[in-house]
Amino acid sequence: MLSVKQELLAALAGELEKLSPGAGSRAAFESPKVAAHGDLACTAAMQLAKPLKQNPRALGESLKAALEATPAFAQWVDAIEIAGPGFLNIRLKNAAKQQVVREVLAEGAGFGRQPDRGEKVLVEFVSANPTGPLHVGHGRQAAIGDAISNLYATQGWQVHREFYYNDAGVQIDTLTKSTQLRAKGFKPGDSCWPTDADNPLAKNFYNGDYIQDIANAFLARATVKADDREFTANGDVADYDNIRQFAVAYLRNEQDKDLQAFNLRFDEYYLESSLYANGHVEATVARLVANGKTYEQDGALWLRSTDYGDDKDRVMRKQDGSYTYFVPDVAYHIQKFRRGFTKVVNIQGTDHHGTIARVRAGLQAADVGIPQGYPDYVLHTMVRVVRGGDEVKISKRAGSYVTLRDLIEWTSKDAVRFFLLSRKPDTEYTFDVDLAVAQNNDNPVYYVQYAHARICSVLRGWREDYDTAALKGVDLSPLDGPQAQALMLLLAKYPEMLTAAAAGNAPHDVTFYLRDLAAAYHSYYDAERILVDEEAVKRARLALVAATAQVLHNGLAVLGVSAPARM
């Protein structure tokens, strides 16, 4: 049906161009708000009526007659109806709707994907400092970032997944001090271990049991290997730098285990320390100073970020000579741009909202050719976890929060991914562990996966070693029932849904679509028996359900969720 729609759009564009030069480029179809009104809708008559100084309904009548005379509309359209002040409601012939089945079966896993556009996009996500296990907030970010990456890939982008982390600074010192104390035999509660939350020294200690695990491995002179580093401990509790490097490597290894459990990969791990080591931070500051975008006040260096829409100017270099955290961020994004990534998407928690204006201001002030609005940001809220009706806040592994691996172990990788993607990123979300393991229709991932498995069971009932290639050329004319037509129309919306979801950085749209598609299949299954005796009818229905299984599989793959053949 995609090819049918393209033919109809071309015909519409041609007729609009005749009515008003330039109007053809705006040719578009909409989905009627009420399904009974038709399969496609066109509002062009109302849009052109005022500039053409014509009555919109009369213009609609003229456009209707012109479209009906075109070969494409004559072949694929059953009727065009005028509604209201000039709406065109278009009803397609059954043959037009049936074309989508052929397209899906012919394109398989490629259905919905656009050709290579020759452009690169960098998606940065998770980006957790190596100071502890990944928590459920990181899990939401991982699910969102990976799904957005997959969405861009369907649209022909060359996608680069990047993990940026702070391997220096105060938090790493905190990690090192905590590990060193544990290695010396101290623990939370000892006199040297502050417990008063109001005591600023308490911030210099991490209390989770994982710190003891690091200390034990350090004393055992273990070797740990992560995706981006490998390090062997020397066991010397007085060697602060050795402890630091080992603790970072140890926790990067732990994070890798979380990411592997989530079936997640990154193309690059980018170190904040490299920005200093390679001189990028100093070069960025020097450029901002040279451009006249900074000033000295109260012993600090300030960026004139209000010149670029920020609500106040920002300190870049503090009185003690250290840089505030947004300065390396500006240097980092200049490097992203210089690496050829003209489009960049950052997935971050809503607590990073304040950094957006100052990073963008720094990039504009640097004046290196970066367009306004660079980079794009997708902000997400944290996640509440409920189990047995009660909120779960504490993890023995982490000490103060539920980890991503906890959630996967309690449920499954598929459930965690689908659930964390089932709402807009900036909306609050409560993860119900009991619902995630329930095998009923209230569990959305089970509902969608069961639809796929149910189709596979039907296909095995046809042939145990079924091959859907045998269904590509079947006669589809028996697919004329209302449930079959509704299912085909929904299949035809898949490519457009992907394009819109990618443009809006909205992977939740994929979860909504898949739930609708599963519901449409279940309705069709209940309305029409598939494995009937009449061979032509059976093959047509098998082709339709095989196409539905393929689109369910494709959509789940975008989310990083499996499509089981048996459940």
Q: State residue 50 phi and psi, 5-degree precision.
A: -65, -50
Residues 447 and 430 in one domain: no
Residues 303 and 359 in one domain: yes
Domain closes at, from 402, 436, 470: 436
Q: How far apart are CA 224 and CA 248, in angstroms?
A: 10
- Local confidence band at 296 (pLDDT 50, 70, 90 cut-offs): very high
Residues 454 and 392 in one domain: no
The bridge status of strand 294-297 relative to strand 429-432 is unpaired
6: amino acid identity, one letter: Q
Q: What is the DSSP string of 297-308?
A: ETTEEEE-GGGG
The answer to the question of residue 349 being in a domain is yes
Q: How far apart are CA 317 and CA 302, in angstroms?
A: 7
How many other CB atoms are there within 10 angstroms of residue 260's CB atom? Answer: 13
pLDDT at res. 194: 62
Residues 376 and 387 in one domain: no
Number of residues in the chain = 567
Q: What is the CA radius of gyration of the chain?
A: 29
* Domain harbouring 65, CATH code: 3.30.1360.70
pLDDT at res. 204: 61
Nearest to 548 by CA among 477, 483, 462, 501: 483
Residues 322 and 374 in one domain: yes
Question: What does pLDDT average to over the chain?
Answer: 93
Q: Helical H runs in 262-295? A: 272-277, 280-290
pLDDT at res. 199: 52
Angle at 203 between CA 201 and CA 209, to 5 degrees: 115
**Is it true that the peptide bond before 130 is cis, omega within 30 degrees of 0?**
no
pLDDT at res. 31: 85
User: What are 241's strand-pairing partners?
Assistant: none
**Residue whose structure tokens are 């450029």:** 287
pLDDT at res. 280: 97
The answer to the question of residue 7 being in a domain is yes
Locate 444 and state its tokens.
């959305």
pLDDT at res. 193: 77
The answer to the question of residue 490 being in a domain is yes
Nearest to 567 by CA among 409, 440, 464: 440
What Cα–Cα distance (Å) separates residue 116 from each residue in 110, 170, 227, 339, 503? 12, 43, 29, 19, 16
pLDDT (average), residues 127-148: 92
Structural domain boundaries enclosing 305: 278-380
What Cα–Cα distance (Å) separates residue 106 from each residue in 3, 111, 190, 274, 546? 13, 8, 68, 48, 11
Residues 351 and 446 in one domain: no
- Local confidence band at 238 (pLDDT 50, 70, 90 cut-offs): very high
Domain closes at, from 436, 462, 479: 436
Residues 427 and 479 in one domain: no
Q: What is the pLDDT of residues 457-513, one digit of tens each?
A: 999 999 999 999 999 999 999 999 999 999 999 999 999 999 999 999 999 999 999
The answer to the question of residue 250 being in a domain is no
Locate 296 and state its tokens.
């000295």
Helix, strand or coil, per DSSP, at residue 236: coil
Residue 2 has pLDDT above 80, yes or no: no
Residues 511 and 447 in one domain: yes
pLDDT (average), residues 210-235: 94
pLDDT at res. 393: 77
Handedness of CA 317, 319, 325, 328 (dihedral sign): positive
Q: What is the pLDDT of residues 186-213, one digit of tens each?
A: 988 888 876 655 555 445 678 888 899 9
Expressed in angstroms, the distance from the first to the final Cα of the chain is 31
* Domain harbouring 289, CATH code: 3.40.50.620
pLDDT (average), residues 148-176: 92
- Local confidence band at 51 (pLDDT 50, 70, 90 cut-offs): very high
Residues 389 and 481 in one domain: no
What Cα–Cα distance (Å) separates residue 414 from each residue in 143, 221, 342, 565? 10, 37, 32, 14
Q: What is the pLDDT of residues 61-119, one digit of tens each?
A: 999 999 999 999 999 999 999 988 888 999 999 999 999 999 999 999 999 999 999 99
Residue 413 has pLDDT above 60, yes or no: yes
The answer to the question of residue 199 being in a domain is no
pLDDT at res. 395: 54
Q: Helical H runs in 155-271? A: 170-183, 209-219, 240-261
Residue 227 has pLDDT above 90, yes or no: no
Residues 461 and 550 in one domain: yes
Q: How far apart are CA 372 and CA 364, in angstroms?
A: 7
The answer to the question of residue 143 being in a domain is no
Residue 135 has pLDDT above 80, yes or no: yes
Residues 497 and 460 in one domain: yes
pTM: 0.90
How is the beta sheet containing 40-42 ordered, strand by strand? 40-42, 87-92, 77-83
Domain count, the chain: 4
Residues 479 and 426 in one domain: no
Q: How far apart are CA 507 and CA 35, in angstroms?
A: 25
pLDDT at res. 229: 86
Q: State residue 125 phi and psi, 5-degree precision.
A: -155, 170
pLDDT at res. 133: 83
Q: How far apart are CA 67 and CA 352, in angstroms?
A: 52
pLDDT at res. 198: 52
CB under 8 A, 24+ apart: contacts of 27-32 = 29/5, 29/90, 31/493, 32/89
Q: Give, for 435, the enclosing helix (H) or strand (E).
A: helix 433-437
* Domain harbouring 519, CATH code: 1.10.730.10
The answer to the question of residue 509 being in a domain is yes
Flag the least confident range among 166-175, 254-263, 381-390, 523-532.
Answer: 166-175
Nearest to 259 by CA among 177, 163, 117, 159: 163
Q: How far apart are CA 69 and CA 75, in angstroms?
A: 10
Domain closes at, from 92, 126, 149: 92
The bridge status of strand 158-165 relative to strand 268-271 is parallel
pLDDT at res. 195: 60
Whether residue 150 contacts residue 560, with contact meaning beta carbons closer than 8 Å, is answered with yes
pLDDT at res. 154: 98
- Local confidence band at 435 (pLDDT 50, 70, 90 cut-offs): very high
pLDDT at res. 554: 98
The answer to the question of residue 217 being in a domain is no
The bridge status of strand 294-297 relative to strand 343-349 is unpaired
